[in-house]
Amino acid sequence: MVERTSKFLLIVAVSVCFMLILYQYVGPGLSLGSPSGRSYSEELDLFPTPDPHYVKKYYFPVRELERELAFDMKGEDVIVFLHIQKTGGTTFGRHLVQNVRLEVPCDCRPGQKKCTCYRPNRRETWLFSRFSTGWSCGLHADWTELTNCVPGVLERRESAAAKAPR
């Protein structure tokens, strides 16, 4: 009899613990109301007023963030891909040269990391990234280095392509 009672108490204790854990994980997602009468999202607002010590360093107007640019691959436009470490840039850069459906897909040869991405009907590149041009501007070039380096590299590549026999 004592054995049955202890098993029953054990089952009740485990059930109560399970219900408490379940309530902690599932309860916050449900709108069960709160004791203070405010909504759950209002209670989560840690900083209801702006922090007076926070200084906004960069201001991006909404119209700038939502603007649309037309990219003309057949024209003179070039996409310069700024690779930033530890942000998934390697995966995205590889995706640009291997998986994007284009009129003239990038030519990626097995065993090479670099792919040639030419414009339709011309031997000029439309993409400036480490997967299409290599480390032309140095290892992990930042915005300033790319701004100073890209025009010269593109001019050298175009002049070399113009001199090469077809």
Tally of CB atoms within 10 A around 89: 16
For residue 80, give the 3-state DSSP assignment: strand
Question: Which residues, 6 or more positions from 90, have their beta carbon under 8 angstroms from its beta carbon?
Answer: 83
CB 78 within 8 A of CB 127: yes
Parallel, antiparallel or unpaired: strands 127-128 and 107-108: unpaired
Tally of CB atoms within 10 A around 137: 20
Q: 140 catalytic, yes or no?
A: yes
Which residue among 53, 83, 95, 140 is the active-site one? Answer: 140
Catalytic residues: 140
